[in-house]
Amino acid sequence: MKFYSTNDQNHLVSLKEAVIKGLAPDQGLYMPENIPRLPGSFFENISQLSFREIGYEVTRALFAEDLPEQQIKELVDHTLEFDAPLVQVEDHVYTLELFHGPTLAFKDFGARFCSKLMSLLLGKQQVKVLVATSGDTGSAVANGFYGVEGVEVVILYPSGKVSELQEKQFTTLGGNVAALEVEGCFDDCQKMVKQAFLDPELNQQMILTSANSINIARWIPQSFYYFYAYSRLQKKREKVAFAVPSGNFGNLAAGILAERMGLPIDKFIAATNVNKVVPDYLAGGAFEAKPSIQTISNSMDVGNPSNFYRLLALFGGDESGLKAKVKGFFYSDEQTRSAMKAVKATSGYTLDPHGAVAYLGLTDFMAQHPDAYEGVFLETAHPGKFQAVVEETLGTKISLPDRLAAFLKGKKKVDQLPNDYGAFKKYLLT
């Protein structure tokens, strides 16, 4: 399979190049040259298949020319080491819990797939992954890449500007994950990383990569759990809708990839907080990036969603096709909190603020189409990750899951780094 840039259909690269580069040189996003349709027999038997078996099938359809069967198995087994259970919340309303991985958020799927794929594609070559983080990216990448052979991770983060729990999630691992505490802000960290990628001397001596969120290897595995959720749904109604709490729109675009591969999803709900660039577009406006606004569902505070062009590409640039398949909904923090309270009161289920936005989008959509849909909304993070907001909203204590609490007991291992590119370069060279 070759991959093209969303900015230039004729710029084709190999899987290896797409994964190591991350972003195309023209700043476009990589996309598979063609989207294979899975055979009818796969969908007939899907309820009998395990999560991993579904993952093999999807990966094989895309990468069979690039990876031997044994490596496809290794890759998927490493990615799907935890489940994504479908839990009924109300009649015809289900949540897909994507928070059972090491950092309790759905980004674990992409980080694990990406790290393993890099290691398989590079063979004996070593690669250094450089990440600047203000919190969450660092923990997902660190945990996804932890212990993966041939890959070294270097995380730069601003001293004193990351929450204790987040810091512990990427500074206590050790092994192939190094953390650099920078005397500076997040932008300083990012500047040093960007400078390293452009440094000819460094690039001659080592393979550097970013593993950033738009990497095709972080994007593709997010399609697995749409197939899986569909396979476990007891369909009592004819049509299925999926609601996705969205920020950069990678997750939603992965759902549409699944649909394009043949999964019969009738509608997608693009649910956002007040950062509503995409809902505005879907309602007939132009696509217009805006400065981001801070909300309680802060992983979705994105004013310029980078996967928008992937959404369009999945419809061959046909905007009416995209608008027919995806419906936009957006909500204020107040509405989000009300939904968290109402769901807790009626069904006992604890939503995190991101899942609550998706729940709202799904139930509002279903109310517009009575009796037509089975609905699934994605729970992208464990409520314990947003403990303060959840406790304040619900007025009850919630406990941190063991996996998260364990990080707090870990010992922080970091190197201090002045805000100076020369020092960073020296660190990388030694």
Ligand X SMILES: *Cc1c(COP(=O)(O)O)cnc(C)c1O
CB-facing half-sphere around the CA of 164: CA atoms within 13 A = 6
Per CB under 6 A, 250 contacts ligand X: yes
Report the candidate in 84, 88, 86, 89 with the shortest Cα–Cα distance to residue 106: 84
Q: Look up 161 and say whether it is catalytic.
A: no
The distance of closest approach from Cβ of residue 122 to ligand X in the complex, given in angstroms and rounded to an integer, is 26
* Nearest approach, Cβ of residue 277 and ligand X (Å): 12
Least distance between ligand X and beta carbon 51 (Å): 20
d(CA 277, CA 273): 10
Q: Which stretch binds ligand X (CB under 6 A): 235-243, 246-254, 283-291, 369-377?
A: 246-254
Nearer CB in complex with ligand X: 184/250: 250
d(CA 382, CA 396): 16
> 3-class DSSP state for residue 158?
strand
Binding-site member from 170, 249, 329, 331 for ligand X (CB under 6 A): 249
> Are the CB atoms for 131 and 138 separated by under 8 Å?
yes
Quickly tell me which residue has 């569902």 as its tokens: 297
* Region binding ligand X by CB under 6 A among candidate stretches 122-130, 164-172, 239-247, 407-415: 239-247
Q: Of 92 and 107, which CB lies nearer to ligand X in the complex structure?
A: 107
Q: Which two tokens stand for residue 294?
A: 């801070």
The tokens for 149 are 């052979």
- Rounded to 5°, the CA angle 331-337-341 comes to 130
Q: Among 248, 295, 350, 363, indicate the residue that binds ligand X (CB under 6 A).
A: 248
Q: Classify residue 396 by burial, with Cβ atoms within 10 Å: 0-12, 13-18, 19+.
A: exposed
CB of 254 to ligand X, least distance (A): 8
Instruction: Give whole-number Cα distances, 221 to 16, 109, 113, 210, 255, in Å.
Output: 16, 7, 7, 18, 10
What does the alpha-carbon distance between residue 172 and residue 90 come to, in Å, rounded to a whole number? 40
Closest by CA to 382, choosing from 126, 107, 121, is 107
Nearer to ligand X, 280 or 420 (CB): 280
Q: Which is nearer to ligand X, 46 or 142 (CB)?
A: 142
Size of the site for ligand X (CB under 6 A): 15
Please choose, out of 67-75, 85-93, 241-249, 332-340, the segment that lies near ligand X by the rule CB under 6 A: 241-249
Stretch that binds ligand X, among 68-76, 83-91, 157-165, 249-257 (CB under 6 A): 249-257
Site track 115-154 with ligand X (rule: CB under 6 A), x = hit: ---------------------x------------------
Q: Return the H-helix or E-strand segment holding 373.
A: strand 373-379
Residues 6 or more apart from 348 whose CB is under 8 A from it?
none
Residue 41: burial class (beta carbons within 10 Å; 0-12, 13-18, 19+): exposed
Work out which of 276, 325, 327, 354 binds ligand X, going by CB under 6 A.
354
Minimum distance from CB of 275 to ligand X (Å)? 10
Binder of ligand X out of 32, 138, 158, 247 (CB under 6 A): 247
Tell me whether residue 241 or residue 378 sits nearer to ligand X (CB atom): 378
Q: State the minimum distance, in angstroms, from the CB of residue 49 to ligand X.
A: 25
CA distance 383 to 231: 25
Binding mask 359-388 for ligand X (x = CB under 6 A): ---------------------xx-------
If the CB atoms of residues 59 and 273 are measured against ligand X, the closer one turns out to be 273
Contact positions with ligand X (CB under 6 A) in 265-324: 299-300
Q: Active site residue: 2, 21, 73, 107, which one?
A: 107
* 131 strand-pairing partners: 155
Q: Closer to ligand X by CB, 179 or 311: give it.
A: 311
CB of 108 to ligand X, least distance (A): 10
Q: What residues from 404 to 423 belong to the interface with ligand X (CB under 6 A)? A: none
**Does residue 246 bind ligand X (CB under 6 A)?**
yes
Q: Could you give phi then psi for residue 129, rounded to 5 degrees?
A: -100, 120
Torsion of Cα atoms, 28 then 32 then 33 then 38, to 10°: -150
Give the interface with ligand X as residue ranges (CB under 6 A): 105, 107, 136, 245-251, 299-300, 354, 380-381
- What residues act catalytically? 107
